[in-house]
Amino acid sequence: MFQELFTPSVQHSLDLVGIFVFAISGALLAVRKNFDVFGIAVLAEVTALGGGLFRDLIIGAVPPAAFTDLGYFTTPLIAAALVFFLHPEVERIQGAVNAFDAAGLGLFCVTGTTKAYDYGLGLTASAALGLATAVGGGVLRDVLANEVPSLLRWDRDLYAVPAIVGAAMVALCLRFDALNALTSGIAVVTAFTLRLLAMHFHWRAPRAWHRSSAKAEEKSEAAA
Query: How far apart are alpha carbons 86 and 12 in whole angstroms?
Result: 26
pTM: 0.86
What is the Cα 189 distance to its own chain's centre? 14
Which helix (H) or strand (E) covers residue 27, if one does? helix 8-32
User: pLDDT tens-digit profile of 37-94?
Assistant: 999 999 999 999 999 999 999 999 999 988 999 999 999 999 999 999 998 888 787 7
Report the percentage of the chain scoring pLDDT > 70. Answer: 91
